[in-house]
A = this chain, B = another copy of it.
Amino acid sequence: MRIGAIGLGSMGLGAARALRRAGHDVTGVDPRAASREAFGLPAVASAAELPAGTEALLVLVVNAAQTRDALAAAAPSLAPGAVIVSSATMSPAEARALAAEWEPRGFHFLDAPVSGGAAKAEAGEMTVMASGSAAAFAAARPLLDAVAAKVWELGAEPGIGATVKVVHQLLAGVHIAVAAEAMALGIRAGADPRALYDVVTSAAGNSWMFENRMARVLTGDDAPRSAVDIFVKDLNLVADMARGLKFPLPLATAALQLFTAASAMGEGQKDDGFVIRVYQAMTGITLPEPD
């Protein structure tokens, strides 16, 4: 299958490589030369340079605006009936608007946000939360088979995939923020951080994010696997979606303010669990140092 892999960032690069490994004819697209070099040839700086007859697009860019621009640039290169797999995290309204724009032009559109992190992407084992027509799923199947360990088929209407992803990010963001809040309080109260971690991760207070992110806080390792600014972006998406629905979100709102504070402090490019530095700045607690 002739595929354009648009966006060679932490997820997109791995997914593009997985597509190539599966035998597809993949052209990588990224304006950053270093990202194109990491992928190898063929790679182009703009979706306008995709080869004619491209049958599928995997769009793994930052947001809806970048997705919109990439699709406009790619359009002249697309084969009739090509499938667009739209995997950036965006609001349900944005996903529906994109589908409404591209389906009438004879293309299939799959609202298909992903999760799993860079390692899973590299292994071709992402989780895809998708909605769209049966025809869109069928057209995208060879692509999905190459990049995903699990494809959730959430409904026939674009927007449901985005909804589930946004709700998932609400949980993920609040879980990271409360992990930081709890660890910081425990440290201030005199608990040993490692013992607290061991107790929580073996008990009913555990979350996937507490276990994963606080392990890095315990070793002072703030290199970003997923950065604070990603949750500033994603929790703002949550807030936008809820505002449109007139839906109050006391917890997600508090978490968004904490990530915003961390970013304002200059920690935006640090690993997201280091939102704990907001509590450190407020209370003067001593965080674990790198070994």
Contacts and interface: CB of A to CB of B under 8 A. Distances in A.
A92 B247 contact: no
Q: Is the interface of A mostly helix, strand, loop or mixed?
A: helix
Interface string A102-125: 000000000000011100000000
Interface string A164-203: 1011111110110111011011101111100110111011
A290 interface: no
Q: How many copies does the complex hold?
A: 2
Given A181-B251, A206-B208, A207-B207, 20 more contacts: A92-B189, A127-B199, A150-B202, A154-B192, A154-B195, A160-B190, A163-B190, A164-B199, A167-B185, A167-B186, A167-B191, A169-B205, A170-B205, A171-B182, A177-B251, A185-B242, A185-B245, A185-B247, A246-B283, A250-B254
Interface of A: 92, 115-117, 127, 129, 150, 152, 154-155, 159-160, 163-164, 166-172, 174-175, 177-179, 181-182, 184-186, 188-192, 195-196, 198-200, 202-210, 212, 238, 241-242, 245-255, 257-258, 279, 282-283
9 contacts: A155-B192, A163-B190, A170-B181, A171-B207, A174-B251, A175-B205, A175-B207, A178-B251, A181-B251
